[in-house]
Amino acid sequence: MAENEIFTRDVLIKYLNESDKEKIKELTERAYKVKVDNIGTKVYLRGLIELSNICSKDCYYCGIRQSNTKVERYELTDEQVMEAAEFAWRSKYGSLVLQAGERCGRRYISKVTRLVKNIKELTGGELGITLSLGEQSKDVYKEWFDAGAHRYLLRIESSNKELYAKIHPKNTRHSWDVRVRAIKDLIDVGFQTGTGVMIGLPYQTTENLADDLLFIKEIGVHMVGMGPYLKHSDTPLGSIADEHPSLDLTLKMVALLRLMLPKINIAATTAMQVIDPYGREKAVMAGANIIMPNMTITEVRKNYQIYENKPGVKDDASVSKSKLEQNLKEMNIEIGWNEWGDSRAFKG
Ligand code: SAM
């Protein structure tokens, strides 16, 4: 492997097709070294609060899609969210993520604004806030940014417009162009912005994945959260794919992205843990530097099943925390307690 290799489409495809274990190991070790040289060894935590599973979208892959009538819908109260935020703060997590299905009503938008302000007030501004609440107007993004949130995650899901159209209903509520516009709006508003894709989607090719990496680089985000696509039987795509993508494919994606973008934040996502109990930790050893331990209250966790076999649905926040800490300790991975761990690719 050349030291200053240029990651053209062809080069990326070659690596993504690599099946030799030794060569994959070489790639991930090289990515780990690039991470350490550029942003250090630490992993930063963002406690994840799944605010609500009510969703106005109908993505063909997602277990909480609007048409899935088997899901019991919930929305956490302000008190429940504040309790979780306090847990994150006292646990020295540094940051939290508020995630939910997509909604645009005024009451809901104002609730998020209020929660962001209250969390900032409760923690004296110490706890960093990331939002992952889907596509909104630029004005709403600005309202939430002004309230004190400073990072936002919005996956493009797939950079390929045709593939995107195959995994979403064909209507204006599920438009690839609108989603790209929203990512650009977030960057414009001033958020540290993250995007990402699902790996191993039905119909997806290696070429699509190479293009995903090039798209991520081109659009200029500061953070990335990508992970394996995992099926959910109560969805239209659930009957198509019955095999998980290999963890190796995800690790190759993480490693290549780290080599292409040495300074961004890359999440080791929960879906990786479904394929392999140490999936997230292995992703850290392949260049990822962010982990999002679940802090959602146990009563509603079972209702936020975007895919099947989501780990830890019976755990509470402190069990998720101690399991993760144990895993990270076993792998000698250092945690950046009480630190925001902002993306070094963000120029402000
Ligand atoms: N509504 C927000 C949005 O659209 O960004 C956030 C919630 S959405 C459930 C969060 C992420 O879950 C999506 O971006 C998608 O990539 C992921 N997801 C949904 N279904 C999935 C599946 N079956 N396998 C893996 N990831 C999935």
CA 329 to each of CA 281, 310, 325: distance values in angstroms, whole numbers, following the listed order: 10, 23, 6
Whether 156 maps to a domain, the answer reads: yes
Q: ∠ CA 95-96-97 to the nearest 5 degrees?
A: 135
| CA–CA dist 101, 50 (Å, integer) | 9
| Number of folded domains that form the chain | 1
Using the predicted structure, report yes or no on whether residue 25 has a pLDDT greater than 90.
Answer: yes
State in Å: Cα 205 to ligand 1 middle: 20
pLDDT digits (tens, 9 = 90+) for 201-227: 999 999 999 999 999 999 999 999 999
State in Å: Cα 99 to ligand 1 middle: 10
Query: What phi and psi, each to the nearest 5 degrees, are found at residue 324?
Result: -65, -45
Please state, rounded to an integer, the average pLDDT across all residues of the chain.
Answer: 95
Q: Which of 180, 306, 308, 309 has the most ligand 1 atoms within 8 A of CB, as the residue to mutate?
A: 306
Using the predicted structure, report yes or no on whether residue 194 has a pLDDT greater than 70.
Answer: yes
Higher pLDDT, 128 or 322: 128
Asked which of 47-61, 66-80, 124-138, 314-328 is least confident by mean pLDDT, the reply is 314-328
CATH number at residue 248: 3.20.20.70
Using the predicted structure, report yes or no on whether residue 66 has a pLDDT greater than 70.
Answer: yes
Whether 348 maps to a domain, the answer reads: no
Mean pLDDT (whole number) for 36-57: 97
Position 245 scores a pLDDT of 84
| Residue 261 · residue 345 · CB < 8 Å | yes
Whether 77 maps to a domain, the answer reads: yes
- Domain housing 232: 9-330
Atom of ligand 1 nearest to the CA of 132: 6
Q: What residues does ligand 1 touch, defined as CB less than 6 Å away?
A: 61-62, 64, 99, 101-102, 132, 134, 154-155, 157, 198, 229-230, 232, 271, 306-307
Helix axes 247-260, 21-39, angle to 10 degrees: 40
Whether 93 maps to a domain, the answer reads: yes
State in Å: Cα 248 to ligand 1 middle: 21
pLDDT digits (tens, 9 = 90+) for 171-186: 999 999 999 999 999 9
Mean pLDDT (whole number) for 160-175: 97
| CA–CA dist 301, 303 (Å, integer) | 5
Mean pLDDT (whole number) for 142-156: 98
Whether 201 maps to a domain, the answer reads: yes
Instruction: For ligand 1, atom 25, name the residue with the nearest CA.
Output: 229
Query: Which residues have C-beta within 8 Å of that of residue 325, sequence separation ≥ 6?
Result: 335
Query: Which residues have C-beta within 8 Å of that of residue 26, sequence separation ≥ 6?
Result: 1
| Residue 43 · residue 37 · CB < 8 Å | no
Instruction: For ligand 1, atom 8, name the residue with the nearest CA.
Output: 101
Using the predicted structure, report yes or no on whether residue 1 has a pLDDT greater than 70.
Answer: no
